Structure 1
């Protein structure tokens, strides 16, 4: 397998593993062990394919998953804390800080907006 294809394959396998274990923070050493590569190889793969460090990518994937869940939440659905925990975030202040840095808003604001959207959609559907 050519080097570029191999690197893309390693990144893809890492992504699949992180998503399969979304309820916890997968560590870089764990990824290395799982993918049978050295830390340096993993670093090179992620830098080459995505332009970021493996640990950054793992955090971004989890934050995006949490955002997706918050955006799809309904009024009587889970809280921000429930969604964060489902994606392996246990330190709420760190989660909120990282979330705001990435998305420019607080997780609670995302949830409020989603609830407002769902309420408006439900109201409209009953009107017709």
Structure 2
């Protein structure tokens, strides 16, 4: 179930996928989804979904073809840039713009 959820989220990465949508797509109850994520990953589904998207955004920011922070955030379904920056900093310890700047310094 966790792998199917991951695949679904990555296939629909340009928009946030919520827990109710995952339950519907995977034909499981919310509680079943919760138990599966807790057993396999030790975290709630919503936390995993956000972390998965943030890691994708970070990979893009570190990549050669990265555009602006806003472009990358939107490509991963983050529409509120201030919340994206807050969540990104909480997970990676730096702002998304710092990651982009570091990549540009290495490339330049």
- Normalized against structure 1, the TM-score is what? 0.83
Q: What CA RMSD, in Å, does the superposition of the two structures yield over aligned residues?
A: 0.8
Q: What whole-Å deviation, never above 9, does each CA across 1:9-50 have from its counterpart, x for those lacking one?
A: x00000000000000000100000000000000000000000
Residue 73 of structure 1: how far off its partner (Å):
3.5
Equivalent-residue separation in structure 2 for 1:84 and 1:40 (angstroms): 30
Name which of 28, 47, 50 aligns with 1:37.
28
Does the Cα contact within 8 Å between 1:73 and 1:111 map onto a contact in 2? no
Distance 2:54 2:99 in 1: 12
Which residue in 2 is equivalent to 1:116?
A: 105
Gapped regions of structure 2 (runs ≥ 5): none
Aligned residue pairs: how many? 108
Moved over 2 A (4+): none
Q: Is the 8 A contact 1:18 1:26 kept in 2?
A: yes
Q: 1:22 aligns with which of 5, 13, 24?
A: 13
**Is 1:51 the counterpart of 2:42 in the alignment?**
yes
Q: Which runs of 5+ in 1 are unaligned?
A: 1-9, 120-128
Instruction: Look at both structures and tell me which one has the larger radius of gyration over its CA atoms.
Output: 1
